[in-house]
C-alpha cells in the first residue's frame, strides 16, 4: 500500500446523497476499497468536529421532545442496499440522531455516573481504533499487551502497595496477571465471583463431580446496596446471594453481617465471598472495608471490593483515605469510565495475589496458548480493544495530581449542593455526600413541619416521581431518581432524587439553576394537585 496513491476525498467530496461509485460492479470495486481505506478524511473530520461542538456546547440536559416522538423516528428496519457518502451520513446524524441524544456534557445534567470525557481522549480513541490492536493475544497486539499489563500494574500498586520487588517480578510475568480489563464493572464483579467460587472449588464453578443440593450452594454475602451485577453473577454461577441491611450511613451493618456469617457457618454452608462496596450506586457510601477484610480472613472467605464508582479515588492523595483497608482485599473492581472519566468500556478487576488470576484460565489452540504471554488466558472475554491506552494516556496527561484536583473539586460541589438543599425547607436531604453523590427529595408544602407518616410518604413518593419526570421532559436540567428502604422512616421505601456531581464543568451556579428549576416545577405541580385533588389521593 502506497500512501502516494491515495485518492483524495473520494468519499468525502462526493455529491451529497450520491452512493459511492462502483459498489455493485466487481471491476470498479477497487474504488470502494480505496474510498474506505485510502481516502483523505479531512472533510469528514471537520463535519464530525462541528457535530461534536454542537453537542459539547448544549447547556440543556436534553431536548423536550417526548420519548414516544423520538421512538417514532427509529422505526425503519430495512438495511440500506446502497451506501451513501460519509458526508450525507453525517447530515443524517445531525438531523435525525444527535439532537435526540442525552446531553451528558451539559453542566446541568447531574443524573448518572456518566459525564463528558476530556477532549484528548476521543483523539486517543481514533488511534486505538486505527491501530485496532486485539489484546487477547500477543500476535495481534505485541507492545500494547505489555502496556496493558503496565497500567494494570500502576493501579495495582496504588491499591495494594506491594513492594518494588513484587512488581519487578509480576508486572510482566507470563504465568499470571495482576488484573484484567473488562468491558465494565458488571463483568469485573462477575469475574471476581467466578474466581472466588473456583477458589472454593465448588461443583458449579469447578466442573468437579461433587453433587450440591440447593442447601449446599456456595454463599456470597454483601449489603442490600450491592450492584445488580451481583444478582446476575450469582444466578449465572449457581450461588446464593445473601443481602444484609445497611446502617444509617448506608454502609453494611457489621452486626448483621456477623450474624449472617454465623448463621451460615452453623448450617455448615460454605461462604465463598464477602463483598464490600466502595461507593454505592445509590448514595456513594463506602462500607467498612478493613473490618470486612478481617471477617473474611477469620472465616477463610474471599473478600471482593466493588469500587467501580469509588476506586478512582485511589489516585488522589487527598481522598484515598476514604478507601482505607482496600489493600487487604483479595479482588477489587474499578471502572475507568466513572471517576477517571475514560470512555465507556474500561472496567478493571485487580487481584492482590496474581495467582488468583490462574483460577479461571482458558486456552485455545489457534492462539491464546498456555505458554504464551497472551492476556486472553486470564479474561472471561475474548477479543478486546486496547482500552488500556485510554488509562495510559490519562495517567500521563492528567497525572495523579490532576486527578486529585478534579476529585477534590467534585467533592466540593457535592458539599455545596448538600448545604444548599439543607437551607431550603422545600427539600429533605436523605444522604449527605461521602463522595460526589447525594440523595434528597422534595417535600410538598402540606407535609412540612409535621411528622411524616407512611401514607404521607406514599404521596411524597408520587410527587417526586412526577417532579423528576417533568424535569427530565422539560430538559433544562436533570437528576435521576432511585427507590430504597430508608432506616429513618422505618425502612419504608422512598423515592429519592439522586444527583451525581461528576461533571467537572458543573459550577455552583448550575447547581443553583437545577434546584431552582425543581422548585419551579414543584410549585406548578402543587398547584395542579390543588386544582385536581382526586387524581392524587
* Region 247-266 residues binding a copy of itself, contact defined as CB under 8 A: none
Strands ordered across the beta sheet of 492-500: 427-431, 437-442, 492-500, 480-486
Question: In this chain, which stretch among 296-304, 323-331, 389-397, 452-460 interacts with a copy of itself, using CB under 8 A?
Answer: 389-397
Is the CB of residue 205 less than 8 Å from the CB of residue 198?
A: yes
Residues in the chain: 537
Contact between residue 329 and residue 304 where contact means Cβ atoms under 8 Å apart: yes
* Minimum CB–partner distance for residue 536 and a copy of itself (Å): 20
Binding residue (CB under 8 A) for a copy of itself from 270, 384, 413, 441 = 384
Paired with 94 in beta bridges are none
Instruction: Give the DSSP per-residue string, 302-370.
Output: EEEEE-TTTGGGGG-TTTGGGGTTGGG-SEEEEETTTTT-PPS--EEEEESSGGGGGGG---BTTBS-T
Binding a copy of itself (rule: CB under 8 A), the pick from 330, 335, 374, 428 is 335
Query: For residues 63-82, which are near a copy of itself according to CB under 8 A?
Result: 67, 70-71, 73-82
312 in contact with a copy of itself (CB under 8 A): no
Q: Does 375 bind a copy of itself (CB under 8 A)?
A: no
Quick check: 127 binds a copy of itself (CB under 8 A)? yes
Cell of 523: 410549585
Output phi, psi for 333, to 5 deg: -95, 135
- 405 near a copy of itself (CB under 8 A): yes
Q: Does 370 bind a copy of itself (CB under 8 A)?
A: no
Question: 10 Å Cβ neighbour count for 67?
Answer: 11
Choose between 289 and 368: whose C-beta lies nearer to a copy of itself.
Answer: 368
Q: Return the SS3 of 11.
A: coil
Q: Does 472 bind a copy of itself (CB under 8 A)?
A: yes
- Nearest distance in Å: CB 256, a copy of itself: 20
Query: Footprint of a copy of itself on residues 412-471 (CB under 8 A)?
Result: none
CB of 502 closer than 8 Å to CB of 338 = yes
Residue 107 interacts with a copy of itself (CB under 8 A): yes or no: yes
Closest separation between CB of residue 343 and a copy of itself, Å? 5
194 lies in the binding site for a copy of itself (CB under 8 A): yes
Give residues 210-239 in contact with a copy of itself (rule: CB under 8 A): 210-214, 227-229, 231-232, 234-238
Under the binding rule (CB under 8 A), the answer on residue 1 touching a copy of itself is yes
Burial of 1 (0-12, 13-18, 19+ CB in 10 A): exposed
- Select from 248-256, 257-265, 287-295, 473-481 the region that touches a copy of itself (CB under 8 A): 473-481
Amino acid at each position: 500500500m502506497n500512501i502516494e496513491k491515495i485518492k483524495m476525498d473520494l468519499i468525502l467530496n462526493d455529491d451529497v446523497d450520491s452512493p459511492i461509485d462502483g459498489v455493485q460492479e466487481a471491476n470498479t470495486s477497487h474504488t470502494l476499497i480505496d474510498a474506505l481505506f485510502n481516502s483523505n478524511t479531512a472533510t469528514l473530520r471537520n463535519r464530525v468536529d462541528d457535530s461534536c461542538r454542537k453537542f459539547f456546547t448544549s447547556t440543556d440536559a436534553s431536548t423536550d421532545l417526548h420519548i414516544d416522538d423520538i421512538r417514532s423516528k427509529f422505526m425503519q428496519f430495512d438495511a440500506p442496499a446502497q451506501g451513501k457518502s460519509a458526508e450525507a451520513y453525517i447530515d443524517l446524524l445531525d438531523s435525525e440522531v444527535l439532537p435526540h441524544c442525552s446531553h451528558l456534557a451539559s453542566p446541568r445534567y447531574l443524573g448518572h455516573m456518566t459525564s463528558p470525557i476530556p477532549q484528548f481522549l476521543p483523539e486517543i480513541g481514533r488511534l486505538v481504533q486505527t491501530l485496532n490492536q486485539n489484546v487477547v493475544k500477543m500476535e495481534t497486539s505485541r507492545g500494547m499487551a505489555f502496556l496493558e499489563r503496565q497500567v494494570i500494574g500502576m493501579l495495582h500498586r496504588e491499591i495494594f502497595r506491594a513492594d518494588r520487588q513484587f512488581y519487578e517480578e509480576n508486572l510482566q510475568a507470563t504465568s499470571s496477571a495482576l488484573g484484567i480489563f473488562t468491558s465494565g464493572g458488571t463483568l469485573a464483579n462477575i469475574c471476581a465471583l467466578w474466581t472466588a467460587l473456583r477458589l472454593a472449588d465448588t461443583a458449579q464453578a469447578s466442573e468437579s463431580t461433587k453433587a450440591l443440593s440447593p442447601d449446599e450452594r456456595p454463599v456470597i454475602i454483601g449489603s442490600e446496596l450491592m450492584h445488580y451485577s451481583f444478582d446476575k453473577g450469582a444466578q449465572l454461577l449457581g450461588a446464593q446471594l445473601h443481602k444484609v441491611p445497611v446502617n444509617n450511613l448506608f454502609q453494611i451493618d457489621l452486626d448483621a453481617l456477623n450474624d449472617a456469617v454465623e448463621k451460615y457457618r452453623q448450617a455448615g454452608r460454605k461462604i465463598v465471598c464477602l463483598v464490600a462496596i466502595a461507593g454505592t450506586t445509590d448514595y456513594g457510601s463506602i462500607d467498612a472495608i478493613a473490618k470486612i477484610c478481617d471477617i473474611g480472613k477469620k472465616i477463610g472467605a474471599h473478600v471482593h471490593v466493588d469500587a467501580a464508582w469509588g476506586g478512582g479515588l485511589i489516585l488522589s492523595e487527598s481522598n484515598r483515605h476514604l478507601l482505607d483497608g482496600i489493600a487487604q482485599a483479595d479482588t477489587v473492581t474499578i471502572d475507568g469510565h466513572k471517576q477517571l472519566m475514560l470512555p465507556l468500556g474500561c472496567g478493571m478487576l485487580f487481584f492482590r495475589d496474581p495467582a488468583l488470576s490462574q483460577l479461571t484460565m482458558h486456552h485455545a489452540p489457534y492462539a491464546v496458548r498456555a505458554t504464551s504471554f497472551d492476556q486472553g488466558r486470564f479474561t472471561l472475554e475474548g477479543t478486546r480493544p486496547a482500552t488500556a491506552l485510554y488509562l495510559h494516556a490519562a495517567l500521563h496527561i492528567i497525572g495523579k495530581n490532576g486527578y486529585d484536583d478534579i476529585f477534590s473539586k467534585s467533592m466540593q460541589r457535592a458539599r455545596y449542593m448538600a448545604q444548599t438543599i439543607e437551607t431550603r425547607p422545600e427539600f429533605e436531604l436523605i444522604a449527605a455526600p461521602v463522595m460526589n453523590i447525594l440523595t434528597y427529595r422534595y417535600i410538598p408544602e402540606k407535609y412540612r413541619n409535621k411528622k411524616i407518616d407512611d401514607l404521607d410518604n406514599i404521596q411524597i413518593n408520587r410527587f417526586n416521581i412526577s417532579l423528576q419526570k417533568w424535569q427530565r421532559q422539560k430538559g433544562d436540567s436533570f437528576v435521576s431518581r432511585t427507590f430504597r428502604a430508608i432506616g429513618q422512616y422505618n425502612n419504608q421505601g422512598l423515592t429519592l432524587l439522586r444527583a451525581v456531581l461528576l461533571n467537572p464543568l458543573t459550577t455552583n451556579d448550575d447547581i443553583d439553576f437545577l434546584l431552582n428549576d425543581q422548585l419551579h416545577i414543584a410549585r406548578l405541580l402543587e398547584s395542579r394537585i390543588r386544582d385536581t385533588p382526586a387524581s392524587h389521593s
